[in-house]
Structure 1
Amino acid sequence: MADFLLNYTNPVFDSAFDLFTDSPVWTVHDSTPRILVQLWVCLTVLGAFQYLLGATLNFYFLFDRETLKHPKMLPNQVAREIYLSLESLPWTATVTVPWFYFELVGYSKLYDTIETWWEVPLQIVTFFLFTDCLVYWIHRGFHHPSVYGWLHKPHHLWKVCTPYSALAFHWLDGYGQSIPYHLYVYMFPMYKPLYICAFIFVQFWTISIHDGVYISNDEILLSCAHHTIHHLEFNYNYGQYTTLWDRIGGSYKKPVEQYEKEMFFDKIKKRKELEASGEKSKSD
């Protein structure tokens, strides 16, 4: 993944560095200082771009903006969420760069060519099972009184979330919960393009569980309804993708009746029925 970022951004950085210096430290592609700076800029800028793009599209096309009138919505909450997210990203990128650098120099188990077709589905399953387990325990650990106040509480300021809540946390909180995604490819082989896709998916998934769009009330899949309970009641539903580890850890709480009444597609259906009945009344 690191080589992908470097290869596609080298022309941009070549032009930028040529404006200021002719030192090989900054003009040679294999220079370690250049690689570290380039990776940091890529992670910061692309992370911000994906966050703003995904959250904004969700905010305007899926998120129910009537939620902004909720009594538990904080003053200027959306602006504060965006500010905290963008403030945290450079710091998160700083501590993430070493994972990408050591991947680049050959310490990870990422590879470029598939030999057998079954590798991809197997890796998808193992990757998400592995990360789902570790993220659960890391997230639950961040609720321990010794670290909660300074580390994880900033994310729990948002009792009623918006899509922009997804990355609105202390930078070390975000980094800690990202560690399983980096660790996996140092322990298990993974097809590189699949890893890139998984990284992109994770961010959009994180946005989706903060947007208040209750698409699913599934018993296994950890949905927005489950994560809404987590933000409101704190000690339940720590999981990332499934309810498995919440069940094992005794922290599972099923979304109750009010969430079932707020299912996204049911709301659309009811809205259409109301519109149709209104048009019929006018014609009568």
Structure 2
Amino acid sequence: MDVIIDYLDDAVFNKVYPSTWGSSSGLRQFISLYIVTTIFGLLAYYVTAGINYMFFFDIRILENRLILKDQIKLEIKMASFSLPIMAFLSAICFWLEVRGFTQLHSHIASGSAGFFSIILTSIAFLAFTDACIYWIHRCLHHPFFYTRLHKDHHKWKVTTPWASHAFHPLDGFLQSLPYHLYIFIFPMNKFQYLILFGLVNIWTVSIHDGLYKVPDVLKPVINGSAHHTDHHKYFRVNYGQYFTLWDRIGGTFKNPDGFQEGKQG
């Protein structure tokens, strides 16, 4: 995020903040990060979910008897309320990043070494966050946390792309925490991190869109929309984010109903 803040300081913030308030001020940095995280978070949600809804979502799903009245409006309302709060909590993590407490770096080795480094760290990032999110998500289904936090998201028994960020704000932040935690533990290129963080948003939307088109060879491995649809339907299965590995290890894997012949959600 320091790359984005440095750019916006030159383009916008230096013209807005008092000249006596230097760009290295911790408070100024946090305010800037909160503004940026809120705006980009809302835009990413509206744009990504909007594109998915217009071009990929099958609107016949809205005829399902489990769809709530005005559900899309309710999903957007919840997400629009929660995202600025999630952004505040995320901005704390980004502030620590900007202040140099993480292992982010700007170095990329030349040639094939740099290419393989990017590939390996991307795989490590996905593996680490997938494992963490599985256990966080599973813990959120414990009755104590479910009734207080996660139940809000499960009111959408049949989801649309707009449900992707329609969480209780603390629930949403807890499930995003592994993305922040990774860079405190492991080194990663800062540009690579920004790209992966953005792609996470797209994936989160995609697993709520009811589109089950996964290549047959990947169906046993990828935790896609069909798996997450069954998670909302049955509650205690398919907690994973990207892969089915931890559901298989944890005994919570269910082969999706949507993969059965002739069934499309």
Q: TM-score range by the shorter chain?
A: over 0.9
For the 8 Å contact 2:156–2:232, the answer to whether it is kept is yes
Matched, 1:13 2:7: no
Q: Which AA in structure 1 matches 2:213?
A: I
Deviation at 1:15, TM superposition (A): 3.1
Aligned-residue offset at 1:97: 1.5
Name the SS of the counterpart of 2:15 in structure 1. Answer: helix
Match of 1:44 among 19, 38, 41: 38
- Computing the radius of gyration from Cα coordinates, the structure with the larger value is 1
The equivalent position to 1:97 in structure 2, one of 91, 102, 114, is: 91
**3-state SS of paired residue (1:207):** helix
Amino acid at match of 1:224: S
- The structure showing larger relative contact order (alpha-carbon pairs under 8 Å, at least 6 residues apart) is 2
Q: CA-atom RMSD, angstroms?
A: 1.5
Aligned-partner Cα distance in 1 for 2:258–2:241? 22
Distance change in 2, residues 1:43/1:260 (3 Å): farther
For 1:88, which of 58, 63, 82 is the aligned residue? 82
Query: 1:179 is aligned with what amino acid?
Result: L
Q: Tell me which residue corresponds to 1:207.
A: 205
**Distance apart, 1:257 and its partner CA:** 6.0
Q: Which segment is superposed worse, 6-15 or 199-208?
A: 6-15
Q: For 1:224-239, what aligned pairs fall within 5 Å after superposition?
A: 224-239=225-240
TM-score between the two structures when normalised by the length of structure 2:
0.93
Q: 1:276 maps to which residue?
A: none
Q: Mean alpha-carbon deviation: is it higher for 157-166 or for 2-11?
A: 2-11
Matching residue's letter, 1:230:
H
TM-score by length of 1: 0.87
- Measured in 2, the distance between the counterparts of 1:167 and 1:32 equals 29
The 3 A distance-change label for structure 1 pair 198 and 58 is same
C-alpha offsets along residues 69-107 of structure 1, whole Å, 9 cap, x if unaligned? 211110111111111111011111111112111111211
> Alignment partner of 1:63: what SS?
coil
Q: Equivalent residue for 1:24?
A: 20
Q: Deviations over 1:10-50 (max 9, x none)?
A: 22223333xxxx3623xx21122111110001000000001
Instruction: Please point out which of 145, 148, 168 is paired with 1:147.
Output: 145
Return the alpha-carbon distance in structure 1 between the equivalents of residues 203 and 174 of structure 2: 17
Unaligned runs of 5+ in 1: 265-284
Give SS of 2:121's match. Answer: helix
- Decide whether the 8 Å contact of 1:24 with 1:31 is kept in 2: no
1:24 is paired with a residue whose SS is: coil
Name the structure 2 match of 1:109.
Answer: 103
Which residue number corresponds to residue 184 of structure 2? 186
Q: Distance in 1 between matches of 2:263 and 2:14?
A: 52
Query: Would you say the 8 A contact 2:104–2:189 is kept in 1?
Result: yes
- Who is 1:271 aligned against? none
- How far off its partner does 1:5 sit? 2.1
- Count of aligned pairs: 257
**Residues 214 and 262 in structure 1, CA contact (< 8 A), matched pair in contact too:** no
